[in-house]
Structure 1
């Protein structure tokens, strides 16, 4: 998504975990590199409710700068940017965090539905935001956020998302010759 026209963007991050909670990672067997705290950064246009940018990663200045650089590259104009601070300013993004908690098992509290790999977590987040932006009709807008933002003029469905995935999937490679194993 590029050249998004917006006037007010709200940004926030939401916590989840991958493989094990951070306090248990050192006890975990064969914990992968990115086990523990996983943060999803999100930027929402408060007028259209469109998720303009998101990123899955850590919660430090490096990730914050990368996230803001990505957001800047997606916008067509300068915006009022609001982050944590005054509760009233973050109404749209905090509501989006609740929507994520309600739609995705990985974000519910006291869950056993956490992602075992950070890649799977990122894929689930990507699917959620595509569904949220293009398929789900927003209750107050009566259209999808993408329609409200002028990115599309029609309501998408799940089949459209599957077509996008299929179009970007690599074609299966031809398998090489079979070599029978000889046991000794």
Structure 2
């Protein structure tokens, strides 16, 4: 991160920190509710008696109000045209 002189975070630096915090929260939810333990075949919340079933990521997305995105048609990629000079390999 570059120093912007004022000691405050810039717009993009703050967005990065916010995104990181959201990913940590999502990973924590996945680990505690979705991922079963290999030995006991239960998630940590099932072992603690908080939940009696193994959750899916769709269940967690429904809690935070995120609709599952269906894969849509992709846009065609833009092709790059070489600028200035030839590419002979010289």
TM bin (shorter chain): 0.5 to 0.7
Which residues of structure 1 form unaligned runs of 5+?
1-24, 35-115, 168-184
Residue 27 (structure 2) aligns with: 128
1:160 to 45, 48, 59: 59
Structure 1 length normalisation: TM-score?
A: 0.29
RMSD: 2.5
Q: 2:9 & 2:35 partners in 1: Cα distance?
A: 34
* Mapping 1:21-100, distance limit 5 Å: 25=1, 28=2, 30=4, 33=9
Give CA-to-partner distance per residue, 1:10-32, whole Å, 9 cap, x none. xxxxxxxxxxxxxxx4xx26596
Q: How many residues of Structure 1 are paired with residues of Structure 2 in the alignment? A: 60
Residue 147 (structure 1) aligns with: 46
- CA shift, 1:140, in A, is 2.4
Residue 84 (structure 2) aligns with: none
Give CA-to-partner distance per residue, 1:92-124, whole Å, 9 cap, x none. xxxxxxxxxxxxxxxxxxxxxxxx611111000
In proportion to residue count, which structure has more strand? Answer: 1
Q: 1:32 & 1:127 partners in 2: Cα distance?
A: 27
Structure 2 length normalisation: TM-score?
A: 0.57
Larger radius of gyration: 2
Residue 138 (structure 1) aligns with: 37
Secondary structure of the residue aligned to 1:164 is helix
Secondary structure of the residue aligned to 1:141 is coil
